[in-house]
Each structure stands twice: as C-alpha cells, then as structure tokens.
Amino acid sequence: MGHSRGGFSTKVHVVTDGKGQPLHAVLTPGQRHEMTVADELLTHAQGRAFIGDTGYDSDRLARKIRRRGMKVVICCNPRRKRGRRRLDRRYYRRRYRVECLFHNIKRFRAVASRYDKTARNYLATVELACAWQWLN
C-alpha cells in the first residue's frame, strides 16, 4: 500500500446501510484521494441518500448520485467558490453511524495498528472485523 515517513499508511472506505452495518469495504494508499474509489462505492450504495464527508465533494459524483435517484448529502469543501450545495442536516446527522462503525472496527488491534504487510491481508482483516460487526 502507500508509504510515508512513518511507514505504511492506508485509508479504509466503507459503504454502510442505514443502521451503520458495513456493506462494502475498499482500501487505498494513504496518500491517494478519496475520489479514486467513489465510483466503486456508489455502485454498492443503497437507499435514498448518499452521505459522505468533504473528501467526496465533486460535481461529477453528485451528478452520478442524482442519476441513481439518490439525494446528495455531502458537505461542501470550504474552499469551493461556486456551485455550493445546501446540506440536508437531517440526513447528515446519520453520518455518525459510520464513525461508530470505524470505532468498532478499530477495536480490533490488527486493524488499528496495521500489522499486515500486504493490502490483501489487511483487507481480509478489515472484512473480518466487518463480519464481526454484523454478528454483534
């Protein structure tokens, strides 16, 4: 995966359902932008709204989300000058469930400290933690 001065760095991207249960997980190197996996995440997304953080703020992604019949609930980048979207705070409040999922996944020591050398093994560990989340 990605390298930095501190060693390996990896981002975990997860699609969840409305209750915060994981549906799909993807890894990217830590220095890579979130938008590189946005299309893959969108193919696995379900429901009435696509809720994401500022890293997924893109007009192209917003158009794709609307084409799928979903509402765009992505906080705009503060540096964005034109085309700012209104944020539906009622939906955006549900994003805490994703943060709770990450908290629960990182309770696995192997996920939190990233012992694995290969992305395949680390993704398997993340998926195991996601399966544990479904069982509890």
* Sequence ranges of the domains in the chain: 2-131
Note the pTM of the prediction, 2 decimals. Answer: 0.83
The CATH number that domain 2-131 falls under is: 3.30.420
Q: How far apart are CA 93 and CA 96, in angstroms?
A: 6
Radius of gyration of the chain (CA): 15
pLDDT digits (tens, 9 = 90+) for 11-45: 899 999 989 899 999 999 888 888 889 999 999 99
pLDDT digits (tens, 9 = 90+) for 77-87: 888 888 888 88
Contact criterion met (CB below 8 Å) for 92 and 98: no
pLDDT of residue 75: 86
